[in-house]
Amino acid sequence: MATFKHISSKNADYGAAEQYLTFEHDEFTMKPTLDENGQIIPRKGYLISSLNCGGEDFAIACMRSNLKYGKNQKREDVKSHHYIISFDPRDAPDNGLTADRAQALGEEFCRTHFPGHQALVCTHPDGHNHSGNIHVHIVINSLRIAEVPLLPYMERPADTREGCKHRCTDAAMEYFKAEVMEMCHRENLYQIDLLHGSKNRITEREYWAKRKGQAALDKENASLAAAGEPPKLTKFETDKEKLRQTIRKALAAATSFEDFSKKLLQEGVTVKESRGRLSYLTPDRTKPITARKLGDDFDRAAVLETLTQNAQNAARAAETPLHRQEHPRSLKDRLQRNKAAINAPKNDGVQRMVDIAAKKAEGKGRGYEKWATLHNLKQMAATMSIYEESGFSSPEELEAALAAASTELNSVHAELKAVESTLREKKDLQKQLLAYIKTKPARDGLRAQKTEQARRAYREQRESEFIISESAARFFKAQGISKLPASKTLQAEIEQLTKEKNALYNEYREKKENVRELQTIKGNIEQILRGAPSQQKKHELER
């Protein structure tokens, strides 16, 4: 699941960014790691490239541009912006993601969304704790050195001008996250819905506080173990994590907001509501922690929804005291129910049996035959087990289930393609709309000219802008658009379509895996029937 983060920096030493990307650093102190000779240790397996630097070193090119335009000279100025795209660790084994491919995606993302900025793009093949997630760092000089087109996340004319600075607003981050999701869909990589909030919102500060606390606790436990004493704690928890657990415990037992408040107060936590937002005050603090900083599970809407559900469950339990028997989900049940979208397909399950006779005819030897015989026995047992547990009474019923699953797959695929087509049309409209908006000063200037000669001269001076404007106008006319939509409304529609595409894409991958599983079972059953007396084996399958 690709994630996207942003860090702004006021450090005037642009070389420090490149040093961090190319040399190992202590993850707690952020200081370079030294070897036994006191030399800094280079990172392994990284890829790095620079953009718009004119063949110069990134740091020199940035400082030269800053002096040219008189920007980034004050201590409080944001000198650079650091964006990080982290890919899912499963993308490498499952989807063929390599460092070279990630680097190419990072460079394409940088050129598309940060045009006119000097930039470093660096790919690291591993993350913290050797998690295996390939991630791309994009560091840009905050100063723009060229005039650029008006992009969807830009809000002011200065956002496109040469000599002005990049602004990372909330709207820009929403746009970048949507584009990262779109990139993952296009490249068939794992992803999550970045446009929705997180149930547990872990900030960068809390993440590192937990890492440092865990390291200190491990060190203390090591010293206790050396002294022969048992450790008191093995897992470090931040104050926010303890507060989340306290809130969840109270929320699980409460059926009303008043009850919820009382249970929290018994734990020393005061819940407050202001302007429709919740905040939580612990005994050791003077300033409450807002629900937004804890996660979406703790905001007013989520809390009230949970309390309502608790009250309904309590009422239902009082009305129906008899315990309802739970049945395990079978393959057949999964095909008939509406399944929730998941982020990745199921990779385990039964495998296809090998046609040993055909492989021997191809020249396979005794060793392969021995392996294939054992493999077929395992897959035969797994196939028969799933076949019986799934409730299929005959091969014909399995065939019907496969046909139904294929129909569902085709339906979701058609819906996904329709959403993709609509999204493509909306993006084409957005591109033309932004181009048309950017030419508004030129069109206004033309209307201000008093004479035909002045208008002709004015058009000649700004011919390229009028070509763009007229091309956009032809596009609107061809699409039958008489009233142009608002830029923010169009962007909101694009984000909503991206969310829909995200959900459909996950559902499509799940249904495709279900079809593949049924096809495998069907193929194995057919091979089992071919390899044994037909009537006897068919009778066993139908029992």
pLDDT value at residue 335: 46
Stretches in the chain below the pLDDT threshold 50: 322-328, 331-332, 334-347, 533-540
Nearest to 183 by CA among 490, 448, 425, 505: 505
DSSP state of 163: T
Give per-residue pLDDT as tens, 47-77: 999 999 988 999 999 999 999 999 999 999 9
Give per-residue pLDDT as tens, 74-94: 999 999 999 999 998 888 888
pLDDT value at residue 347: 40
**Cα(1)–Cα(345) distance, integer angstroms:** 13
pLDDT value at residue 340: 40
Roughly how many angstroms between the first and final C-alpha of the chain, as a whole number? 44
Distances (CA, A) of 207 to 84, 127, 528: 16, 14, 53
pLDDT value at residue 283: 85
pLDDT value at residue 13: 92
pLDDT value at residue 39: 86
The DSSP-derived string for 405-435 is HHHHHHHHHHHHHHHHHHHHHHHHHHHHHHH
pLDDT value at residue 388: 74
Overall pTM > 0.75: no
**Cα(490)–Cα(499) distance, integer angstroms:** 14
**Cα(193)–Cα(521) distance, integer angstroms:** 33
pLDDT value at residue 341: 38
| Total Cβ atoms within 10 A of residue 501 | 20
Long-range contacts of 307-313 (CB under 8 A, 24+ apart): 307/251, 307/254, 307/255, 307/256, 307/257, 307/260, 310/251, 310/252, 310/254, 310/255, 311/255, 311/256
Hey, what's the torsion of the CAs at 324, 327, 332, 337, to 10 degrees?
Answer: 40
Q: How many helices (H) and strands (E) does the chain have?
A: 19, 8
**Cα(163)–Cα(96) distance, integer angstroms:** 40
In angstroms, what is the C-alpha Rg of the chain?
30
pLDDT value at residue 321: 54
pLDDT value at residue 538: 47
Region at 275 (left for phi over 0; alpha for psi -120 to 50; beta for the rest):
left
